[in-house]
Structure 1
Amino acid sequence: MLLISRLCTGQISEAFFEHFTVDDGLSQSSVNYIAQGKKGFLWLGTQDGLNKFDGYKFKFYQNNPLDTNSLSGNWVYSIDTDTLGIVWIGTNNGLNKLYQNSELIKRYNSNPKDPNSLCENEVFGVLVDRFGSVWVKTASALSKLDTATGKFTRFEPQIDFFRPNRSDKGFPLLEDEEGIWVGSATGLLYFNRKLEQFKSYNHAPSDLNSISDDFITGLIFDKNGTLWISTHYGLNKFNKKTRKFQHFYNALTPSGCPITNNINHICYGYDGYIWLATYGGGLNKFNPETHTVEVYKFQKNNENSISYDYLNFVFEDKSHNLFIGTEGAGLDKLDLKPKKFLLYKNSFGENSLKLSENVIASIYAEGDEIWVGTWDNGLDIVNRKTGKVKHFSNQSPVGERIVGNNVHVIMKDSRNLLWLGTQNGITIYDKQKNKFSDLKTHFSFKFYPNFNNNRIYTMLEDNKGNVWVGTKNGLQLFDMKNYNVTSFWKSITDTLSLFDNNIMSLMCDIDGSIWIGTSAGLNKYDYKTNKFLRIGSPKNSQIKAGKNKYYKISNIYIYEIIEDKIDGSIWIGTGSGLNHYDKSNGTFQ
């Protein structure tokens, strides 16, 4: 007997689960079984009908007492598909054969007077073998359907092994080279096709090498061909040579993670992990090499957690999406493919991997660190290797404190200093000293603008080494050689002043000209004349290009300005689209 250990970060592991419920078109909220057909559709068995799912929409099939071509029973226990695209459905009232092209259903029901009919109407398990034969598990027999003749051959254990076998869930069937493994409520059976004989495996309290429990819920082969069995009391690994079972009982570990022994189903993943759908313990990810487990449980304040801890079924599709059928909360989906994007977000609870705020105002990346300025909760520094996040705010200790919690812009200058623009001024980070300080403490300027309650939206170091700071109330130029500060504002009487005091973007082109995007148009600053050329008109949103020629700009709100490194043209992001300005000929697109 082996007690498996638990990997715990906090209490549970985190992942992004998608949820599908009756509100999305699912016929019923308890999903008993999941299979994938030849055409890629998922087939879901619920307690009120069969569902076909294309990844977006559900179509369901239910019993209609007036239609013999409808589903024979609404409680679906088991599903399998064949190479022809036919879907086989085991229900509480017979076996069904669904033709996908015509969507007609053929029923197979028990007839006490016909020994070649279905043995009983409750079909707990369905399996299409590699020869195309359909195997059916009912309460008292394993039957083989000849699809050509429609006749069943019954194979009944010599002992009354299948009884009592009533369950609200199905039982697993699994094929190997010589026969069929059969799960039941009273033990594990193996049916040898050639000999047409059963061999049983039962739990024996006095035998530590017997199976851990007789209620069999799942059967899988791993990449080495080893058989794994889930039960209502733990996970088992079967040694085919010794005929012995190795047990993996879930147990409370010193870290205190809540777990359960009651496993309703298992699935072998493409990456070698075994997924356990437990009843009350959520979704478990078991590593068969290290015997460790990660737990995914429902979190009340996390809408992306698994939707329920009581699970019926787990299935991986051909695209490596994991689908989880719950008991009363619908269907969940987890993408197992390597993530192209790693999500950092704020959520409830203490966790060093989470951001302090979900509204991101600015980002700066260097090396393994990502600096994230939030809208209202300070600065986060994310280490891309470790995933850990350090947080800084206006409440942090001296040396780590920033002047405002709305960090709108982060800029690195030629001195290797980081400038953080906030709603209350500028914080300077000296990387060499690993210290944060405000602008006044770090530099000795002759004059300091009043940044209190004046949001800083953009900053730029030009090719002269001067720093431009754009705010919601004007533009500031910091002369970093002479430590002078010059302020610029809109003047109603001066057409060579700024279009507007709300400065939204800044750019220095290859010629050293400064381009300023405002909420009322585009300006270009000339160092020689100390004037601003207005190249966008607030009234008609046009850019002048040559004598009496105008080219319309899509919007006067200039959010971003970038110079094209290839041809020197200007790309302008506005409130209603992207614009292109060719400086060489004055044309605008």
Structure 2
Amino acid sequence: MKKLTTTALFLFVFLNLLKAQPYYFRHYQVEQGLSYNSVFSIVQDSKGFLWFGTKDGLNRFDGYSFKVFRSKPGDTTSLRNNVIRAIFEDARKQLWVGTSNGLYCYNDTTQQFKLVPITLNKGVWDMKSHGNGDICFIADRKLYKYNRSRRTFEEFSKHQDFEATATTFSSDGTLWVSSPEGLIRKYNKAEDSFTSFNLFKDSPPVISHWIDKIYATASNSILIGTSHQGVKLFDLATLSYKDILTFNKDKTSIYAKNFIHNSGDEYWVATESGVFVYNLKTGKYTNLRKNPNDRYAISDNAVYTFAKDKEGGIWIGTYFGGVNYYPKPFTFFDKFFPQNNKRSLSGSAIREICNDKFGNLWVGTEDAGVNKISPNGDFTAFIPDGSKTSIAHTNIHGLKAIGDELWIGTYEQGLDILDIKSGKVIRHYDKGDAPNALKSNFVDCFYQTRSGNILVGTADGLHRYNKTTRDFTLIKEVPQNFHYTAITEDADGTIWTATISGGLLYFNPKTNKHGFYRNVAQNENSLSDNFVNGVFISADKTLWVTTENGLNQFNPVDKTFKRYGTKDGFPSDVFYKTEEDKVGNLWISSSKGLICYNPKTKKIRVYTTANGLLSDQFNYNSSFQDASGQIYFGSVNGLVSFNPSQFKQNTIVPQVYITGFQCI
């Protein structure tokens, strides 16, 4: 019953934290090669390239680098203007570029541009196409079209007596057009006429009726973005509207500039006050805004455009913050890092992680003390304040919750025992000359055996805690003059310990058997390195040993090790700590990413910052798995959390194109 309660508490903690910050953005700005941080239009073409229209040039992005197209004086095959307002790829994979001075057709083979004469000296934006392949676009507030069958550019209608601001096609192929005075017009093709609908007549008066964008939804309606009355929804069945998102939290009007459909009933709204993730069915929304303390937040609140890529990720163009990318979460890693607020970690260098019986998650850092994440998602930082009841140091190495107490091992400042309920240190131990004192103030790790014994690994010996006398006994079965970094117990009751420079040591308190395994030069079947970072026993009782120079699989029959490293396809030879998921995959932290390794199939999958990690470099002794299967790993830049069972496979295989070559 207690185990079920703990599991439920941990699930509750995780779901609360997930709800608090589910959106993580990558940023692409001038520092990454973007020509300008004001982005007005985004398109992914049929080949997979991303095109960004900025205030200073057209950018093509291949996922690694940007190629910029700008106006070249005297070159008639270049763009004549660098302000790119619209980009569109038609059904025949032809790319069109709308600028503040004309519409251009792009030749992908020659990488040249051809001006559409009718658009010379006209600002072009909002290109759309539907059905027969004709392209509708706006140039200086007038509607034009490219007649595909006749290959001519012409005015869209002889009866347009209004200025156009935006267009959209409903699912039946009908063209809808908005205008500055707050009207939306339905085009009647048979009569070449427009029918108007006033979208402000039943709303409170405002100083402007400007409509910036209209967007046809999948539910027979049109989203309307306005400058002074937020978002409206026009019902195509009843030909009526309603105001659905009008004010920001500070009661100022929302300026809605663009829309995109994510999935289901969820639509994203680009505004001057960030992105609104809006559910059409429930009316609930989340407002994503710039946060200077959160490096994964959206980079700017002035959001102008969206695009959805083939994988389902959303690209966002902003006015000051360049491009933001929200990848579809095939592999979702929740992130915890310092944000200078009360609901974040105090430090970045994450060390030990553990839980307690109250449902709290404890995170030790090497740069800012201990953090407690409570079941309701609150964060509490424990740092030294000079009092006897505060922890002794900010540099935390060992961490273990035992009953009502949290054991805290520090770097050269001894051992603290924290009362979890009060949050105060109730006992402190320093090294001493007495027989039952610790022999080192560098307390690196803790382990509680199945029999209840508490083992303490230090920089000078392995100790057993005496509960009755509240002191320590040096374990004689292993050498004192070793630095012990990790401890585990196998099914036979044998204790395995990792050391710095001393290799892998073991002893059995019942049988008194003890010994060691070390690296032997020229012996490929010996331990790969004597600097051992971790020991882990998998569900099939296999002993895995992580070192500074390789991963080792122990064979208990012939007492040999099978070594793994970069020669076998792993990203690094430096392995830190191991967890095992519910299907038998080993998750191993390294100095170059997080590794998922299946011992049966030998399949290796490496996760890096490109997949959503905070850092490719993880930290020593920094992992934890709760009863629900949620796994935590600590890095030098914070903590990540994930559940492998929730990962989805990305079936999109990108095409390969040669975009350039270099002679060496």
TM-score range, shorter chain: 0.7 to 0.9
Task: Summarize the alignment of residues 39-438 of structure 1 with structure 2, pairs less than 5 Å apart.
Answer: 39-100=47-108, 103-110=111-118, 121-139=122-140, 141-156=142-157, 158=159, 160-162=161-163, 171-187=166-182, 188-202=184-198, 208=203, 213-233=208-228, 234-248=230-244, 250-251=246-247, 253=249, 257=250, 259-279=252-272, 281-335=273-327, 337=329, 340-351=332-343, 354-365=344-355, 369-383=360-374, 386-392=376-382, 405-411=394-400, 419-423=407-411, 424-427=413-416, 438=426
Deviations 1:121-162 (A, max 9, x none): 432331121221111222253222123432123234646412
Task: Summarize the alignment of residues 428-507 of structure 1 with structure 2, pairs less than 5 Å apart.
Answer: 438=426, 448-450=436-438, 454-462=441-449, 464-479=451-466, 485-487=472-474, 498=479, 500-507=481-488
The letter for the 1-side match of 2:399 is: I
1:573 aligns with 2:546: yes
Corresponding residue SS for 1:521: coil
Question: Shift of residue 20 of structure 1?
Answer: 0.6
- Alpha carbon RMSD of aligned pairs, Å? 3.9
**Residues in 1 aligned to 2:70 and 2:54: alpha-carbon distance in whole angstroms:** 10
Instruction: Answer with 68-77 or 15-24: which moved more.
Output: 68-77
Corresponding residue SS for 1:23: helix
Instruction: Answer with 244-253 or 124-133: which moved more.
Output: 244-253
**Is the 8 Å Cα contact of residues 438 and 472 (structure 2) preserved in structure 1?**
no
Corresponding residue SS for 1:343: strand
**Is the 8 Å Cα contact of residues 173 and 219 (structure 1) preserved in structure 2?**
yes
**Is the 8 Å Cα contact of residues 320 and 337 (structure 1) preserved in structure 2?**
no
Structure 1 residues 273 and 510: alpha-carbon distance in aligned structure 2, compared to 1, 3 A threshold: closer
Corresponding residue SS for 2:336: coil
The letter for the 1-side match of 2:517 is: I
Corresponding residue SS for 1:124: strand
**Is the 8 Å Cα contact of residues 275 and 301 (structure 2) preserved in structure 1?**
yes
Give unmatched runs, 5+ long, in structure 2. 1-16, 563-664
Structure 1 residues 569 and 356: alpha-carbon distance in aligned structure 2, compared to 1, 3 A threshold: same
Question: Shift of residue 362 of structure 1?
Answer: 0.8
Structure 1 residues 258 and 572: alpha-carbon distance in aligned structure 2, compared to 1, 3 A threshold: farther
Corresponding residue SS for 2:529: coil
Question: Shift of residue 517 of structure 1?
Answer: 2.2
Query: Which one of 18, 35, 40 corresponds to residue 32 of structure 1?
Result: 40
Deviations 1:347-380 (A, max 9, x none): 11333xx223232211124685433223244433
Question: Shift of residue 506 of structure 1?
Answer: 2.2
Question: Shift of residue 406 of structure 1?
Answer: 4.0
The letter for the 2-side match of 1:310 is: A
**Structure-2 residue corresponding to 1:3:** none
**Residues in 2 aligned to 1:283 and 1:93: alpha-carbon distance in whole angstroms:** 30
**Structure-1 residue corresponding to 2:643:** none
Question: Shift of residue 529 of structure 1?
Answer: 9.5
Question: Shift of residue 416 of structure 1?
Answer: 8.6
Structure 1 residues 147 and 499: alpha-carbon distance in aligned structure 2, compared to 1, 3 A threshold: farther
Structure 1 residues 158 and 148: alpha-carbon distance in aligned structure 2, compared to 1, 3 A threshold: closer
Question: Shift of residue 578 of structure 1?
Answer: 1.1
Deviations 1:222-241 (A, max 9, x none): 33111111011122221335
Instruction: Answer with 293-302 or 418-427: which moved more.
Output: 418-427
**Is the 8 Å Cα contact of residues 120 and 139 (structure 1) preserved in structure 2?**
no
Structure 1 residues 244 and 99: alpha-carbon distance in aligned structure 2, compared to 1, 3 A threshold: same
Structure 1 residues 266 and 396: alpha-carbon distance in aligned structure 2, compared to 1, 3 A threshold: farther
**Is the 8 Å Cα contact of residues 166 and 178 (structure 2) preserved in structure 1?**
yes
The letter for the 2-side match of 1:240 is: L
The letter for the 2-side match of 1:471 is: T
Structure 1 residues 99 and 405: alpha-carbon distance in aligned structure 2, compared to 1, 3 A threshold: same
The letter for the 2-side match of 1:359 is: A
Question: Shift of residue 67 of structure 1?
Answer: 4.1
Instruction: Answer with 333-342 or 223-232: which moved more.
Output: 333-342
Corresponding residue SS for 2:31: helix
The letter for the 2-side match of 1:576 is: N
**Is the 8 Å Cα contact of residues 437 and 471 (structure 2) preserved in structure 1?**
no
Corresponding residue SS for 1:236: strand
Give unmatched runs, 5+ long, in structure 1. 1-8, 111-117, 490-495
Deviations 1:534-589 (A, max 9, x none): 532xxxx4189xxxx784533221111234553x5542211122123333213233
The letter for the 1-side match of 2:531 is: Y
Corresponding residue SS for 1:224: coil
Structure 1 residues 325 and 440: alpha-carbon distance in aligned structure 2, compared to 1, 3 A threshold: closer
Structure 1 residues 403 and 46: alpha-carbon distance in aligned structure 2, compared to 1, 3 A threshold: closer
Question: Shift of residue 217 of structure 1?
Answer: 1.5
Question: Shift of residue 467 of structure 1?
Answer: 2.5
**Is the 8 Å Cα contact of residues 354 and 361 (structure 2) preserved in structure 1?**
yes
Instruction: Answer with 267-276 or 81-90: which moved more.
Output: 267-276
Question: Shift of residue 216 of structure 1?
Answer: 2.1
Structure 1 residues 211 and 43: alpha-carbon distance in aligned structure 2, compared to 1, 3 A threshold: farther
Deviations 1:507-528 (A, max 9, x none): 3334433333221222334658
Instruction: Answer with 342-351 or 459-468: which moved more.
Output: 459-468
Instruction: Answer with 461-470 or 404-413: which moved more.
Output: 404-413
**Is the 8 Å Cα contact of residues 126 and 173 (structure 1) preserved in structure 2?**
no
- After TM superposition, the score normalised by the length of structure 1 is 0.78
**Residues in 2 aligned to 1:50 and 1:175: alpha-carbon distance in whole angstroms:** 29
**Is the 8 Å Cα contact of residues 448 and 454 (structure 2) preserved in structure 1?**
yes
**Residues in 2 aligned to 1:85 and 1:225: alpha-carbon distance in whole angstroms:** 28
Question: Shift of residue 32 of structure 1?
Answer: 0.8
Larger C-alpha radius of gyration, 1 or 2?
Answer: 1
**Structure-2 residue corresponding to 1:535:** 517
Question: Shift of residue 75 of structure 1?
Answer: 2.1
Structure 1 residues 215 and 465: alpha-carbon distance in aligned structure 2, compared to 1, 3 A threshold: closer
The letter for the 2-side match of 1:181 is: W
**Residues in 2 aligned to 1:576 and 1:252: alpha-carbon distance in whole angstroms:** 55
Deviations 1:384-434 (A, max 9, x none): 6x4333444556999x96565544233466x79764434444455788x88
Question: Shift of residue 450 of structure 1?
Answer: 4.2
Aligned residues: 535
**Residues in 2 aligned to 1:338 and 1:103: alpha-carbon distance in whole angstroms:** 34
**Structure-1 residue corresponding to 2:598:** none
**Residues in 1 aligned to 2:141 and 2:414: alpha-carbon distance in whole angstroms:** 79
**Residues in 2 aligned to 1:565 and 1:173: alpha-carbon distance in whole angstroms:** 57
**Residues in 2 aligned to 1:105 and 1:270: alpha-carbon distance in whole angstroms:** 35
Question: Shift of residue 265 of structure 1?
Answer: 1.9
Structure 1 residues 514 and 174: alpha-carbon distance in aligned structure 2, compared to 1, 3 A threshold: same
Question: Shift of residue 213 of structure 1?
Answer: 4.8
**Residues in 2 aligned to 1:60 and 1:269: alpha-carbon distance in whole angstroms:** 29
**Structure-1 residue corresponding to 2:529:** 555
The letter for the 2-side match of 1:535 is: Y
**Residues in 2 aligned to 1:382 and 1:140: alpha-carbon distance in whole angstroms:** 55
**Residues in 2 aligned to 1:226 and 1:468: alpha-carbon distance in whole angstroms:** 66
The letter for the 2-side match of 1:473 is: D
Deviations 1:420-475 (A, max 9, x none): 434444455788x888764579xxxx975247x71211222345543321112322
